[in-house]
Structure 1
Amino acid sequence: MKGKNLRVTDTRPNIIALRLDASFFFERAVRSLDRNHYDKALKYFRKAVEYEPDNPVNHCNLAGILSEMGDYQGSNDILESVLKNVKPSMTECYFYMANNYANMEQFEAAEKALVTYLEEDEEGHFLEEAEDMMELLYYELDRPTKLNRIKARQGAVEHDQARMLLEEGKFAQAAKLLEQISGDQPELLAARNNLALSYYYMGMFEKAKETIMQVLQDEPGNLHALCNLAIFYQNEGGGPHLDELMASLAVIVPFQQDQVFKLGTTMGIMGRHEEAYKHFHRLLKDSENKEDASLYHYAAVAASNTGRYAEAKRLWQYVKKLDPVSETPRFYLSRLDELSRKGQLMEKLSYHYHLPFNEQFKLWEKYGSRSVPEEMKKDPLVRSSFFWALRHGDDATKTQVIQALALIGDEEVREALGLFIVDLTQNPGLREQARAVLRRMDGQQADVLVTMPAVPTAEQYVELRAAAADPQMQAVLDKAFSMMGKRYDIAQHHDLRELWLEYLERIGTEGFTIQHVDGWAAALEYLTAKMHRKQATYREIAGRYGISVSTVSRYARQIDSVCGIKQKIAQRLPSFTEKV
C-alpha cells in the first residue's frame, strides 16, 4: 500500500514466569482451604514442606490439615518430628498434639501433652483453650490434672498451691513453697506478702516484718503489705509508726474487692470497728459474696463491736444457714441472747472466723478421746492460734495447746512440736510433754521423732553445755559435742545431753570420778545414734575417738544398765541388733 509505512508488531502473548517456592504453594493451599478443597490443600502444604524443610511453620500447617481431615495420628507424627528434628523449642506443638490425642479419645496421652505445653510454653497463646481442655480431661479421667506450674503465668500455679496451704493452716509447708517462689520470681509481690503472713502465723514476727519491709521497698504503696505491716507494728506494741500508718490507711477507699476485704479485716484487727463495718458493708452489697460465710461473720463482728446488735444477730443467723456445721455462729448467737437477757453489752470480739481461744479448748475437751472433726483440724485460724500460743502463750496455755495438737497429729504439728522440743528457752517440763505427744503420734516408733536439719549455733552450745558443775562431767559433753560435729542435728545433741544427765542423776555423782573422758563420750554418741536410728557401729565410733572397741562397748553397757536404752529401742524396733 502506497504512502503507508508497514509496521510489524510482536503478536506473541505476554508470559509471566511463575516463582515456585514455599510461599507460592502456601498461598495455593490457603486458597484451596477457603474452597473446602482439603485434598488440594494437603498436596500444596506437602510441596511447601519440600521447598522449605527447615521451616517449622510449614510442617505445622501440614499437621493442621491432616488433623482437619481426621488423620490425627499422622498429624501427631509430624508434630513429633518438628519437636525432634526441626525446632524443639516450638512448644505449641504439644498443645496441637493434645488436641489430636483428645480427638482419638486417648485422654491420658492428651493430658501428658497438655501438661508439657503448660509447663514449658513461655508465651501462653493457648492458655484459655488449654483451660477448656483441662475441664474436658477432668470429666473424662474423673480426676484433676496434676500440674506443677504454668510457665507463661510466672509461678501462678505454685502461688495458688501455697495459698491453699495457707488456707488449710499448713503454714510451714506454705512458707517453704513461698520462699522458693520468691527466690525464683522476686517481682511476684503477692508471694512475698503471703510469705510474711506464713511467718507471722508461725510466730516468727521479726522474719515476717523483714519480709514485708522488703516488699514495701519495691512497691511503697502496696496495700496488702501496708495492712500486714500495721498488724506487725501492733504486735510490737504500737507507737508513732503505727499511728502514722493507720492515718494513711483510714483515708483509702479501694475498689478491688480483695483490697476492700483486706483493709476491712485490718481495720477490725486494729480496733477501728466503724471503718471495718463500712468496708464489710460495701462487700455485702455485691451479689457475688452472698455465699461467703466468713465475710458475713466478719460483718457481724463489726456490727457487734459498733453496738449494732440486731444487725449482728441477723448476720450470724445467715452465717448459721450458710455454714450449718460450724460452732462459731451458734456460740455468738447464744452469747448475744445471754447478754441481752442480763441487759449487758457484748464484749469486743476478735475478727477471726472461729471460736474464742478458750471456747476452742472447751469444744475439744468435749470430744475427749474421740476423733476431732476434720473441719476443725483443718481450720487455718484454729491452727494458727494454736501455733502462736505454743510460741508465745503462758505455760498453762502451752500445756493446753500441746494436748490439742496431739488430737490433730499431722506433719505440721510434728514439725511445730519438734521445734518446741529443741528450743532450750522453753520450760523443760513442757518440752517433755511435747516429746511424749510425739512418741504417741508415732506409735512408739521413735524416742525423738523430728530430725532438725541444723546443727547447734554457738548460743545453743552454751545452753547445751550447762550440764553439771563438775568439770570432769562437763568434759565428757564437750568431747562428745566436738566429735559429733555436723553429722548430728540440734535435737540429737540435745538428747545426748539429756541421756548423760539422766545417767548422772540415777547413779548419783558423790564419789563418782571420770577416768576415761573419750570412752564415756563415745558411748554416749553410740547410744544417741541408736536412739535416732542412725547407722553406727562400735568399731566406727571407736576409730574416730582413737580408742578400742571394747572401751566403747564397756561404757555403753554401763549407761544402758542404768538407763535401759536398749530395752526402749527394742520396744519400738524389735529387729534391733548391735553391730560391732
Structure 2
Amino acid sequence: MKKEKHAESDMRILPFMQDGTDYFHRGIKAYQKKDLNKAKRFFERAVYLQPEEPTFYCQLATTLAELGEYDRSNLYLDQVLETMGQDISECYFFMANNYAHMGMFAEAETYASLYMRKDPDGEFVDDALELLDLIHFETGSEPLTEEEELIVGHEEARSSIENGDLAEAKGQLADLIRKHPSFWAAYNNLALTHFYLKEYDEALGVLNQILEKNPGNLNALCNLAIFYEQLGRIDEAAQLVESLKKVFPIHPDHRYKLGSTFGYFNEHDYANRWLASINKHYYLNDPAYLHFLAVSYFATGKQERALNCWSKAQEIDPDGQVAPYYLKQAREGLLTVTGTDYQYRVPWMVKQEMAQKGDFVQRFNNVARGLQKNKLVHLTLMRGNNSEENIEMLKAFCGRLEEHSVLKEVAAHLLLEMDPEMPVSIKREDGEQQVESMSPIVASGLNILSILKENGASIDDDVTFLWLETMILARSDSSLLRNHTAIAAAIDYVARKRKDGASQRQIAELYGITVSMLASRIQFIKRGLERVD
C-alpha cells in the first residue's frame, strides 16, 4: 500500500499539447458532418495556433460563407491574399461568391474576372462563368468593358510587384502592352520591374521607348531621373531634374509624382509646391501622401504645418509607425529630413532593409566564393563509403575552422552514420565541439537534397545557398523541416525565381503538394533570408 502511495506521489501530469493541425482535422470532421458552428470554432482555434498556415484561413472562410457570414469570410480571404502574401487563385472566386451573396455585384464581377485571369484552367472556371452570367442577368449590365479589363489587369500586375513576384509581373505587363500598345502606365511599371530585377539596360530601354512614342510622359521622365541617379549617372539625373522644374502639370496624380520626385532629389521647395497644391484632393485621406507633404513642410521651415499633417496621418493610420516616429522626433527637436524621408517608412526600417539586403548578398557571395556547392555535392557522394581514406577526409573536413558550419555538421553526421561509436569533433571559433549522436536536422536536410535531385533540381549555387540558409533557420525552429517535400519544393521555387522564374502552381504539381502548402513554406524561407547575422 505504501509503495502504491509512493508511486502515486511520483506521478507527473504532462500537458497534452495540440497544434493548429489537430484542431484543423477536428474542424474538417465537423464540417463533413455539417456541424458548421463546431467546425467554425475548431478552424478559428487552428488559425489562432498557426497563423502562418493559409489553408486554415481558407477553410475557415469557406465555413463562414456557408453560415452566411460573408463579410467575415472575405476578411480572412483578403488576409491570405494581402497580409500573408499568398496568391491562391481560388480565394478570388470565393470572394466573388461572397460579394454576390451580399448584393455587391460590381465587386463580385471584378473578383470573378480576376480568378479567371489568374487561373484560366482552374477548378471553378465554369462556376465563375455562371456567376458572371447571373450577375449580368440580375443587374442588366454587360460584361466588363475593355477599359475595365485593362484596369483589372494592371492592378493584378501591380499586386505581383508588391508581393515580390517580379518575373510574373514582367509577363503580365508585357501581355498588357501587347494588347494595349499605348497604355503608358504598364510601360512605366515594366521599367520599374526590370530595374528591381537589376536588368538596368532593359529598364532604361522601356523608358526611352515611352519617351520616343510619348515625349512628354511625366512618369517616365521622373523614373528616368531616379534611375540615372541610382546608377551613378549624376550629371544626366541633374539635367533631367532641372528640366522638370519647367513642367507645370494639371492632373493631381502628375503633381503627386513630380512633388515626390523633387523630394527624392532634396529639391524641397519644388516638392512642397506640388504636394501642397493637391492637399484638397482625394489624397487627403492617404497617410503616405500626408507624410510626404509633412516632410516637405518640415524641410522648408513650416514645422507647425508638418506636425498637423503627421497628426492627421496618425488618425488615418492609427496602427502605423511612421507618423508617431516623426512626431516624436520633431517635438523633441531631433528631426532632420532629406530625400530618403520621402518614403512611407521610418528611417531605421529603411536602414534595416538595406542591411538585410547587403547581408543577404554577402552571405550568397560567401557561399559562391567558397565553392560550397562543390563541397556539398562531394559530401553527399561520400555518404556510405566506409573506406579508411574517406573517414580521414571527413574528419579532416570537420577539423578545418574555415569550412561552413553546416557542412561540417553534415560531415560529422556521415561519420556517425558509418559508426555511431566513432569519436567525432567539429572545430569552431570557441574550440572543439564533440558530436555524440547523429543530427535529426542534418538527416532531414540530406533527405531534402535527395527530393530536390529526384525532381530534377540542379544543386547549383542558388539551391546550395537556400539549402544552407534553411538548415541554419532550422536550428532555431526545427518544425520548419517537418514536411521535407514542401521545403524541397520551396527551395526549388525560390531558386528558379532568381533565374528564369516558375509559377507556384507548376512547382506544386511537380512535387505533388498543394499550392497553399508550397506558399507557406516559401514564406518561411524568405523570412530566413531576411535575417541579419
| TM-score, length-scaled by structure 2 | 0.45
Pick 1 or 2: higher relative contact order, CA cutoff 8 A, min separation 6. 2
- TM-score, length-normalised on structure 1? 0.41
